[in-house]
């Protein structure tokens, strides 16, 4: 126990990042005071570092995006705190602090990310079942994030991180337990019934299989795909049965035996994976049942098609406002007011369901360009296949939804798949300490401003 404790102390920066992820996951779109306190904590850990290795093609655009967002707030409200700029300044701080970690620290951080995603999934499932049994009334699982779509993509990003830790980490004692969390994530994802998250997951799996095909022959890739999809079918199928029992029957307590079955899959998931490896035909048959799961999900959410059509209308509305104020944007939170009064369809949401367009409308074309540059750079980097697939899923989701503005989701993507050392340049101790000190001053000023 003493040795493990000393090992954790040696990697205090990774633990600070993990603590920040936990905190940011629980405050949704953001709370300035909490974000400022988290930022001060991370900057304090950063100022104790001697060097960092980061990709400047991601770090600098992150900083410039935050500055452009603060400039937009200043033009609209006369201060830098009434907007997203200060809260989103956490992203370059997180990325820079990740660049200070060694290989062991990054491995520990990714394990913490996978573990925390599993805890969030378990919390969501427990609350869903408790509400169904005690009140008889429940709906799509929103989880600790408070939004079903946000919870869905959080679980998708966490699933790719979990798969990386379980399949590519050398420490089998650690990864066997993490691998058992896969059905927990899949059950929770199904309970959200987030069609956008399912599409993002499919996009990520497509990237995963393309990358797999480059290193393996077609037959091995096909067997791998069947085994992967068979596990997904069992996990999502169990979640679908729990949802149907809790929501579509008059005896919601019947979901308790199904929950017990879900717990059994958690206990014997490694055995099930070995079974699929030994019997590839069974894996193929189970993977084909995914069509039935997808059809059931569409049946349970017939309004999904209408919702997607509205999102394209929303994007069209946003494109109309891109030229209103191309340099600084119309200001944070102001698109909704413009949408309310322009005489067209009112969408009753704070964000356009396309992140580049929304940022271009509210924060200006420069901020929009920085976000696009970050996305393209992250997607082009040669990552491990699961991390690359997770980035693809996150980026795709932000073209049809608003997960970027949830601090915990973006922080999870950065900490799990950021890989600042890949293609990075080394920065000396004085430079690193200066940057962290400047950000610490920004967070301290923002905290003082909000308290005053």
Let me know: does 414 contact 91? Beta carbons within 8 Å: yes
The tokens 């929950």 sit on which residue?
Answer: 259
Tokens standing for residue 225 = 């795909």
The tokens 């049965």 sit on which residue?
Answer: 241
Residue 158: the pLDDT is 94
Query: Cα 173–178–182 angle (5° rounding)?
Result: 145
For residue 427, the surrounding DSSP H or E stretch is strand 425-427
> Using alpha carbons only, how large is the chain's radius of gyration in Å?
22
3-state secondary structure 363-386: HCHHHHHHHHHHHHHHHHCCCCHH
Residue 355: the pLDDT is 93
Let me know: does 394 contact 411? Beta carbons within 8 Å: no
Residue 314: the pLDDT is 84
Each residue's pLDDT expressed in tens, for the chain with a length of 452 residues: 666 655 566 678 888 999 999 999 998 887 899 999 999 999 998 888 888 888 899 999 999 999 999 999 999 898 888 889 999 999 999 999 998 888 888 888 999 999 999 999 999 999 999 998 888 777 888 888 888 999 999 999 999 999 988 876 656 666 778 888 999 999 999 999 888 899 999 999 999 998 888 888 888 889 999 999 999 999 999 999 999 888 888 888 888 999 999 999 999 998 998 999 899 899 999 888 888 888 888 787 777 677 777 888 888 888 888 888 888 888 898 888 887 777 667 777 888 889 999 999 999 899 999 999 999 998 887 768 888 899 999 999 999 888 999 999 999 999 988 888 777 788 888 888 999 999 999 999 999 988 88
Distances (CA, A) of 193 to 84, 126, 140, 245, 413: 29, 16, 6, 15, 21
Residue 321: the pLDDT is 84
Closest CA to 235 of 305, 164, 173, 163: 163
Q: What's the sign of the alpha-carbon dihedral 221, 222, 227, 228?
A: positive
């Amino acid at each position: 126990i003493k040795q493990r404790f000393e090992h954790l102390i040696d990697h205090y920066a990774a633990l600070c990042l993990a603590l920040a992820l936990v905190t940011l996951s629980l405050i949704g779109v953001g709370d300035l005071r909490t974000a400022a306190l988290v930022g001060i904590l991370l900057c304090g850990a950063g100022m104790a570092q001697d060097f960092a290795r980061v990709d400047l093609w991601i770090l600098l655009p992150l900083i410039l995006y935050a500055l452009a967002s603060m400039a937009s707030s200043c033009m609209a409200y006369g201060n830098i705190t009434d907007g997203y700029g200060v809260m989103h300044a956490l992203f370059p701080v997180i990325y820079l602090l990740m660049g200070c970690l060694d290989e062991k620290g990054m491995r520990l951080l990714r394990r913490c990310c996978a573990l925390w995603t599993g805890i969030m999934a378990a919390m969501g499932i427990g609350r869903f079942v408790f509400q169904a049994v005690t009140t008889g009334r429940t709906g799509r699982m929103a989880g600790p994030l408070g939004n079903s779509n946000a919870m869905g993509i959080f679980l998708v990003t966490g699933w790719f991180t979990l798969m990386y830790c379980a399949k590519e980490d050398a420490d089998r004692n650690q990864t066997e337990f993490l691998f058992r969390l896969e059905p927990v994530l899949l059950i929770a994802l199904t309970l959200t019934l987030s069609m956008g998250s399912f599409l993002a997951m499919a996009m990520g799996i497509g990237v995963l299989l393309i990358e797999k095909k480059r290193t393996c022959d077609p037959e091995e890739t096909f067997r791998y795909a069947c085994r992967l999809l068979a596990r997904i079918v069992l996990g999502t199928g169990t979640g679908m049965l729990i949802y149907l029992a809790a929501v579509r029957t008059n005896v919601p307590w019947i979901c308790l035996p199904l929950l017990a079955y879900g717990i059994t899959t958690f206990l014997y998931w490694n055995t099930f994976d070995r079974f699929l490896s030994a019997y590839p035909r069974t894996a193929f048959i189970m993977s084909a049942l995914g069509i039935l799961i997808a059809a059931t999900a569409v049946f349970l959410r017939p309004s999904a098609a209408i919702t997607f059509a509205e999102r394209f209308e929303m994007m069209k509305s946003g494109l109309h406002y891109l030229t209103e104020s191309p340099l600084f944007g119309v200001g944070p939170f102001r698109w909704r007011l413009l949408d309310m009064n322009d005489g067209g369809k009112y969408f009753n949401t704070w964000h356009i369901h396309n992140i580049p367009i929304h940022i271009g409308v509210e924060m200006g074309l420069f901020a929009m360009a920085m976000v696009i540059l970050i996305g393209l750079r992250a997607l082009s980097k040669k990552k491990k296949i699961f991390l690359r697939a997770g980035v693809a899923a996150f980026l795709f989701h932000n073209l049809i939804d608003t997960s970027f503005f949830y601090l915990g989701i973006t922080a999870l993507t950065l900490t799990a798949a950021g890989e600042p050392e890949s293609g990075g340049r080394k920065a000396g101790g004085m430079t690193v300490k200066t940057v962290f000190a400047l950000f610490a001053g920004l967070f301290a000023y923002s905290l003082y401003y909000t308290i005053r």
